[in-house]
Homo-oligomer: A and B are copies of this chain.
Amino acid sequence: MTGVTVKTVSRVVNGGARVSPETFQKVTDAIETLGFRRNEFARQLRQRTATTIGLLLTDLSDPFFGTMMRTVEDIALQKGYMLLVASSAEDPVRSVKTLASFAARGVTNVIMSAPSGIDTGIIKSELATGSNIVLVDRPIPELLLDTVLTDNFDGAARGTKHLLQHGHRRIAFFGDEPAVYTAGERRRGYESALLEAGIAVDPELICMGAPLSVDVHKVLDTFLSLADPPTAIFSGNNRWSVLLLRTLTEVHRSMAFVGFDDFELAELLVPGRTVMAQDPAEIGRMAVQMLFDRIEGARTPPRIVQLRSELVSRGSGEIGTRPLD
């Protein structure tokens, strides 16, 4: 119509292979002046895959995932991909439904943090139909997939050792529900550090559960009224840290403290909060890189990449043991 060509346009839009330079130029100009935009629906209907990455995270409002999202977006954008995001709220059923919605939209490339108890059946069938899935933050034990996560065991062990080095022998541990992979690993790391120091693990000093489902005041009271109460706390995640710090303030009680996960303003509290910091940006970067490797056809066996966490000393972990009130 306009110029002279018909569907050579397609070839041009897709990189101009097998098109003469002059035709290419002519078409390019026409596209420019007419404001033509390729319809992604039609393209994707034909090609059976979308230039969209599905991002399924446990919680969109968690700054950890926020940072990850931003990194993933930056890299995806460079390759012309956009992000379809969704949250699982740790619900395996919701996760599976979301994966199905992704599939219905042709989103065959997914980065996800899988809740425990997720049905591996659907995941396997997605993979069988050519989907690419990269796991972040936690693996799926029954399934070997590309995975990027922090070395939780190691981080918790080093954090606990840090407290041990400052003389603590009674260290309380707070963590998420045992079913949550990271919670289990961190607890194992904590226990391993204790055992290595020749200290028996005391179940009376361990509290596992979703932070909001636990009566923190009561648990702390119980811990503190033990014959041999804890002099330090290892907090297994951010939400626990916030809750514990709040509660400790209320009962006018300060203890040595190390938490997993960094948080903003941790250095402005008194004392500054010592943490094992993860690197969500790096996790995102590696995950999206591994995903594009797959998209571009990599056939190597799945890899699990563990990132080291960093001990950030700010004061709260360096409080020595001291006599009790």
Contact = CB atoms under 8 A, between A and B. Distances in A.
Residue among A41, A62, A264 with max Cβ neighbours from chain B (10 Å): A41
A42 interface: yes
A87 B73 contact: yes
Q: How large is the interface on A (under 10, 10 to 19, 20 to 34, 35 or more residues)?
A: 35 or more
Contact of A269 (B52, B65, B268): B268
Contact of A242 (B40, B106, B245, B264): B264
A101 interface: yes
Interface stretch (A78-86, A136-144, A172-180, A206-214): A78-86
Interface in A102-142: 103-106
Contacts of A82: 84, 86, 101, 105
Contacts of A324: none
Nearest to A106: B41
Interface string A257-295: 000000111011110000000000000000000000000
Contacts of A101: 82
A86 B85 CA distance: 10
A31 interface: no
Nearest to A246: B268
Interface string A198-209: 000000000000
A312 interface: no
Contacts of A84: 52, 82-85
A100 to B, nearest CB: 7
A38 B85 CA distance: 20
A20 interface: no
Contacts of A62: 66
Interface in A20-56: 37-42, 44-45, 50, 52
A63 B66 contact: yes
A313 to B, nearest CB: 17
Given A45-B41, A270-B270, A85 B104 contact: no
A85 B85 contact: yes
A61 B60 contact: no
A67 interface: yes
A166 interface: no
A314 to B, nearest CB: 12
A70 interface: yes
A69 interface: yes
Interface of A: 37-42, 44-45, 50, 52, 59-63, 65-67, 69-70, 73, 77, 82-87, 100-101, 103-106, 242, 245-246, 249, 263-265, 267-270
9 contacts: A40-B106, A41-B41, A41-B45, A42-B45, A52-B105, A59-B70, A62-B66, A249-B268, A263-B265
Name the 4 nearest CB pairs between A and B, nearest first. A61-B66, A41-B45, A60-B69, A40-B105
Given A264-B265, A268-B269, A269-B269, 15 more contacts: A39-B45, A41-B45, A41-B50, A41-B106, A45-B45, A60-B73, A65-B66, A66-B66, A73-B86, A82-B84, A82-B86, A82-B105, A242-B264, A263-B265, A265-B265
